[in-house]
Amino acid sequence: MSKNLVIVESPAKAKTIQKYLGKDFEVKSSFGHIRDLPKKGMGIDLATFSPDYEVSADKKKLVTELKAAVKKAEMVWLASDEDREGEAIAWHLADELKLKPENRKRIVFHEITKNAILKAIENPRDIDQNLVNAQQARRVLDRIVGFEMSPVLWKKVKPGLSAGRVQSVAVRLIVEREKEIREFVPKGSFKLDGIFLNKTNQEIAAKLKKDFDKEEDAEKFLELAQLTEFKVLNVETKPGTRSASAPFTTSTLQQEASSRLGYNVTNTMRLAQRLYEEGYITYMRTDSVNLSQEAIEGAKKQITSEYGAEYSSPRNYTTKSSSAQEAHEAIRPTDFAVKTVSDVQLNRLYQLIYRRTLASQMANAKIEKTVIEIGNAKLPQNFEAQGEVIIFDGFLKAYGIVKTEDDDEENNEKLLPKVTVGEVLAYKKITATEKFTRPSARYTEAGLVRKLEELGIGRPSTYAPTIQTIQNREYVDKREIEPQIREVVKISLVKDKIKKEVLEEKFGGDKNKFVPTDIGEVVNDFLTDNFKEILDYGFTARVEESFDEIASGDQKWKQMMTDFYSKFHPRIEDVEENADRATGDRLLGIDPKTGKNVHARIGRFGAMIQIGETEDEEKPVFASLMAGQNIATITLEEALELFKLPFDLNEVDGQPVSVGVGRFGPYVKWGETYISIPKGEDPLSVDQKRAEEIINEKKIADAPIATYKGEPVTKGSGRFGPFIKYKDIFVNVPKRYDFENLSQSDINELIDAKLEKEANRYIQQWEKEKISIENGRWGPFIKFGKGMFKIPKKADDTKYDAEELKEISLDEVKKWITDQDPKAFAEKKKPAAKKTAAKKTTTAKKPAAKKPAAKK
């Protein structure tokens, strides 16, 4: 029996720590929080702001096991992470497990290494109640905001919506950027580039120091240049340096992993968590750039041995953020002697952290910058060529140059050939190209993190879940924006001849950037109109500062909640009572056929076009918007085109054919089969010939690839990846199989395994009642419809085995279900009536919404 019980959050961390502690220690995992606010209901006493915490159903067994382990131990060591969330986990454990102060110790560490763990054991402390209160304040305030604002959205916008303090502000940033892009008016000007040749015919690329607003001015300059002798007017060479960036914080790691590795924020944090838990890096939720003396020494040793003493320049960085409180070190390797990690994905992120930390302790790069001025006194403006030479690479040897999204791609400075002042240069080509100003770029995940951090909104631990939440709620997405085309003028001077061309240029297209959805815009506009203070960037940042003050003991958390709620709740009541409904309604114009108004707005099933008014004697007609269209930008002409869908074509193989648009996009319907029209193809352009091509492609894709016991086997790719289909059974194909070249033995093996699994799945099944007793991962359970229910113990407090469950009657099983859900078998008449009503109101567009099998 171990005298000491250590409790950490994750099993991976427990496994690593157990290696470093002797037989007197047992390490167990709490699997994160063991209790939280209830999932149903607010769970907060609004008079006192006291939370009503409960152990979640999936943690009850774990808590029982932890209590049993606590009874056997003399001392319990609470070793959750050293941030507010970790401190709260320790506090909940201490409270729920009834740990007495004399039998518990709180330990913290920034890295999972033997030295760090043993040092933590030697320096225990008690639970920091201020950190716990800061976490409680955030949790309670966010629960109140969500639970009070969301019902207002249900009533005033659309049922099922939700709001959140930080998430709503993040959506606001994305919506405002999109509106800025829409309202942006590009301004054209002519930029001049020249390629000049020196005596030895080496090229020098240069730019004119001033742009021309008008085409005629650019053309006049070229006419003048045609008759001009170009000379080197000045050559300036000056030394410079480049210094390394600080080691990673959570947000800079997320940004750099996005730009260098293409990882999204959630993936970056998942991999960083694994690296931390397996002992490779220090704690990955931090806004500090400091390094310990031990780390600085370790980096120095590695740099000196790998690159040489001249590359070493030990230094420490100061954290700019006044609220940096999560951990006391930047993200860094725990051991600089470990240069790689075996797992490929982990290694890519580890290499980024490793090289960034090394670079931060390396000497500055030394450069020599050269500027050559080229022109003639007769010309109104001169050309300038810039280049640089790296004299000493310094930190660049380890990490290279860090570029941000805002860096101009055209500013690629190159090595320039040697020239002297007064030297005559011949021009090879001078080009005046019409260029247009561009609006601010849409946010990438990295850009959004950077902006939230800049505004002081959220903290390292909140960025990933915030970004995930606003996508899950479908307020924003990363859909592809098709580029537009415009004409640009290009005037070239080559061999004393001026040539003018009008070219086509694509602009405005985007991929993998955040774009607000229609519902996201409507919700944002409603919240900013009615809850201006809650959505205010400054207010959200001040709330974060209040949490910091609570964490440092300078503010009482319940007093903060009282001050906040006294202003917030009356506003909720006022908006609920007096605010108008929000539909994002936009009047597009008049339908020339009926003379009725045409509106774009949010309806019950999402963004739609409506012809007519709800109060008219003749009911309005509706059409769903297509992918890529939105309420704010759709034109009257585009809206009216939607009412041409769905339309019928001639039968194919005796089956009716139609073209429409549904929730999964445009489709061809052949009999009862929905076939997606390829991305980017206009459904209105699909004629009989094209529809038949699409149907034939589907036939080929669905043709049997083999047989199993005389029955055809087909293959496809669905939501969960590649699959084969036998009768009505879908069998997922694991990566170890070559999906494109499945052999008959592969198919037999896959289907045999699936059938065996299905055969062992049911202990008893009542198909008519949709009730079954099934074997599950954790033992037998009852399934009723989509719900799952526990099997109670027998009278002697033992569990039923599979043989006994085969004899249980349907009535007994129904009783077990009713004991857990008294309303399980209650008749549900209202939803049926509601469904009928919905059918009446969706008129012509209802068929488009029915497309369950389009993705198979």
CA distance 535 to 168: 7
Displacement of CA 338 from its chain's centroid (Å): 31
Higher pLDDT pick, 49 / 840: 49
**Sole residue written with tokens 């303090």:** 165
280 is catalytic: no
Per-residue pLDDT at 325 exceeds 50: no
Out of 266-275, 398-407, 442-451, 455-464, least confident range:
398-407
Segment 202-229, tens digit of pLDDT: 999 999 999 999 999 999 999 999 989 9
Per-residue pLDDT at 782 exceeds 80: yes
Q: What is the pLDDT of residue 598?
A: 94
Segment 521-552, tens digit of pLDDT: 999 999 999 998 888 888 888 898 999 999 99
Displacement of CA 289 from its chain's centroid (Å): 25
- Give the burial class of 389: count Cβ atoms within 10 A of its Cβ; 0-12 exposed, 13-18 middle, 19 or more buried: middle
Q: What is the pLDDT of residue 516?
A: 95
CA dihedral 628, 634, 636, 641 (to 10 degrees): 10
Segment 756-772, tens digit of pLDDT: 888 788 899 998 899 99
For residue 497, give the H/E element and its range.
Answer: strand 497-507
- Check 263, 283, 399, 708 and give the catalytic one: 283
CA distance 68 to 70: 5
Per-residue pLDDT at 231 exceeds 80: yes
Segment 608-647, tens digit of pLDDT: 899 998 888 889 998 888 877 888 889 999 899 889 888 9
Higher pLDDT pick, 617 / 849: 617
Dihedral sign for Cα 847, 848, 854, 855, please.
Answer: negative
Out of 98-102, 109-113, 498-502, 585-589, least confident range:
109-113
Per-residue pLDDT at 326 exceeds 50: no
Percent of the chain with pLDDT over 90: 54
Length of the chain (residues): 856
Higher pLDDT pick, 152 / 457: 152
Q: Quote the crossing angle between the two packed helices 165-183 and 537-551, to the nearest 10°.
A: 150
Cβ atoms within 10 Å, residue 368: 13
Q: What is the pLDDT of residue 856?
A: 34
| Residue 852 confidence class, pLDDT cut points 50, 70, 90 | very low
Per-residue pLDDT at 445 exceeds 80: yes
Segment 564-619, tens digit of pLDDT: 999 999 999 999 999 988 888 999 999 999 999 999 998 877 888 999 988 888 89
**End-to-end CA distance of the chain, in Å?**
55
Amino acid present at 772: S
Mean pLDDT of 36-54: 90
Give the 3-state secondary structure of residue 641.
Answer: helix
For residue 539, give the H/E element and its range.
Answer: helix 537-551
Q: What is the pLDDT of residue 404?
A: 53
Percent of the chain with pLDDT over 70: 93
Q: What is the pLDDT of residue 835?
A: 38
Amino acid present at 463: Y
Mean pLDDT of 165-184: 94
Average pLDDT of every residue of the chain: 88
Per-residue pLDDT at 411 exceeds 80: no
CA distance 800 to 588: 66
- Residue of 306, 371, 370 lying closest to 336 (CA atoms): 306
CA distance 44 to 26: 36
Q: What is the pLDDT of residue 845?
A: 38
| Residue 828 confidence class, pLDDT cut points 50, 70, 90 | low
CA distance 444 to 478: 9
